[in-house]
Structure 1
Amino acid sequence: MSELAGEITEDAFLGGKLRLRQPRSGHRAGHDAMLLAAATPARSGDRVVDLGAGVGAAGLAVARRVAGIRLALVEIDKGLGEFARANALGNSIAAEILLLDVTSGAESFASAGLLPDSADIVLMNPPFNDASRHRASPDKSREIAHVATAGTLDEWVHASRRILKSGGNLSLVWRADGIAEVLAALGRGFGSLTILPVHGDAAAPAIRVLVRAVKGGRAPTRLLAGLVLNGEAGSPSPYVQAILAGEDRLPLAIP
């Protein structure tokens, strides 16, 4: 099935309600994808586009939580796209799999069926590691999935802005020390931001930010109290466990 790795794992997400096959090495789905899904304010009937979907984890998790969405999984890597297709079928979730470079132009998006002003929701987990501080991986697919160029975030936000309807929602995850980059990128065409810092533990600085933005939104930015993944014992709190099990959602997912 895969050109990326000789071994494949099958992993349980959302408390076993979602099972994903993925390469043992390279880019693998984890907590970031589940938190992004839990931060996405999708409703039944929405056209939902997952940019850089990988094996489909975040988009499929949204579809498992919200029945009746119209889901498109966009991925540049053919091998990962094959995993996404198989995972959608294996979980009985209807999804389009679109092999597309997120940084390509409007014509390429339109040819794939992603027309301007056509999506209600976009979610994305772009490559966000700083190339100047990140040792290059010998696994090229892993490097592409994790390391950002200077223009990565701007290009991905631009693609999201183009395909979203006015009033549509963008949900994204980024490294916490890059919050200034997020605010700058979203300053063109987006507003009504809601920001959730994510901490590994209560004593440590945030490691991620989850952000929801509205195309054309004008409401003031809201900075929420941070989400702490692990308690003093080093294990997830009951609330985080419920989020990861798909039994609860983050405040960003509440319209």
Structure 2
Amino acid sequence: MFAEEDLTRDAFLGGRVQAWQPRHGYRAATDPVFLAAACDARPGQSVLELGCGAGVAGLCLAARVPGLRILGVERQAAYADLARRNGVDVVEADLTDLPDDLRRQSFDHVIANPPYYRAGHGTAADDPGREAALREDTPLDRWIAVAGRRLAPKGWLTMIQMTERLPDTLSALSGGFGSVTVLPLMPRQGRPAGRILLKARKAGRGPFTLLAPLCLHDGARHDRDGDSHGEIARAILRDGMPVVWGTPPKTRSI
């Protein structure tokens, strides 16, 4: 477990969410916030997060949508303990070896921020917790297969992933998902999208939809200190506005 002096208390959604995180290791930034904003859950529904870490995505989702039943799965004991301290209901388990009682449950939504890098690719992180969060041990197609088994009929999977892993993701979804919609997250105008948000419906029959990118920052380059997020990105990250899977409306706060 993390020692008290190795933790920080961090704010998300403009301070609406407070979460303990390790000072060193995997630290949630904007990706879990975007993931939570992309989930179209409604009050009274159930949500399972695979690989929840310290629980930031679930906390942000709960802050926006009241009355959800949210359960996290996390295999790293220290992070599972931290998520519980943050107020998240967590099962400590490997997603490929879930306990029997969880395998008997189904959920309206599954959300996930799987490791971005394939095994053996890139430079390994010094911290084992960060390494486990960023580089896959369990292949991406297993994450998606587990999500499909835990979803109720016509349930929704929502993910955030690196753009370069989109072909792998779409290939894995082809076995049991449809109605796939992809929203690229572009850091600045004219830059390639580094991340994608994706939602897919179990046994969905709708067409594949590729939306226009959401530009995260104003300006062509970073040329000043402070917050340079664009209006929509700022509303999501600061005010708790949901991701709109279509034409963005005027911004609004929760």
TM-score, reference length from structure 1: 0.89
Task: Please point out which of 170, 186, 196 is paired with 2:157.
Answer: 170
Match of 1:14 in 2: 13
d(CA) in 2 for partners of 1:160 and 1:130?
19
Q: Secondary structure at the match of 2:235?
A: helix
Structure 1: runs of 5 or more not aligned: 89-94
Taking the TM superposition and a 5 Å limit, the aligned residue runs for 1:198-209 are 198-209=185-196
Shift of 1:43: 0.6
Q: Secondary structure at the match of 2:187?
A: strand
- Contact in 1 for aligned 2:2/2:78 (Cα 8 Å): yes
Q: Secondary structure at the match of 2:159?
A: strand
Q: 1:84 to 1:253 in 2, by over 3 A?
A: farther
Q: Secondary structure at the match of 1:206?
A: coil
d(CA) in 1 for partners of 2:139 and 2:120?
14
Which one has the bigger strand percentage? 1
d(CA) in 2 for partners of 1:191 and 1:20?
34
Shift of 1:32: 0.4
Structural RMSD (CA): 1.8
Identity of aligned pairs, percent?
A: 37
Shift of 1:152: 1.6
d(CA) in 1 for partners of 2:128 and 2:232?
36
- Contact in 1 for aligned 2:37/2:240 (Cα 8 Å): no
TM-score, reference length from structure 2: 0.90
Q: 1:70 to 1:53 in 2, by over 3 A?
A: same
Match of 1:85 in 2: 84
C-alpha distance after superposition, 1:49-70 (max 9, x if no partner): 1110000011111111000000
Task: Name the amino acid aligned to 1:147.
Answer: R
Taking the TM superposition and a 5 Å limit, the aligned residue runs for 1:70-219 are 70-88=69-87, 95-104=88-97, 108-111=98-101, 113-115=102-104, 118-149=106-137, 152-219=139-206
- Contact in 2 for aligned 1:40/1:252 (Cα 8 Å): no
Task: Name the amino acid aligned to 2:42.
Answer: R
d(CA) in 1 for partners of 2:119 and 2:186?
23
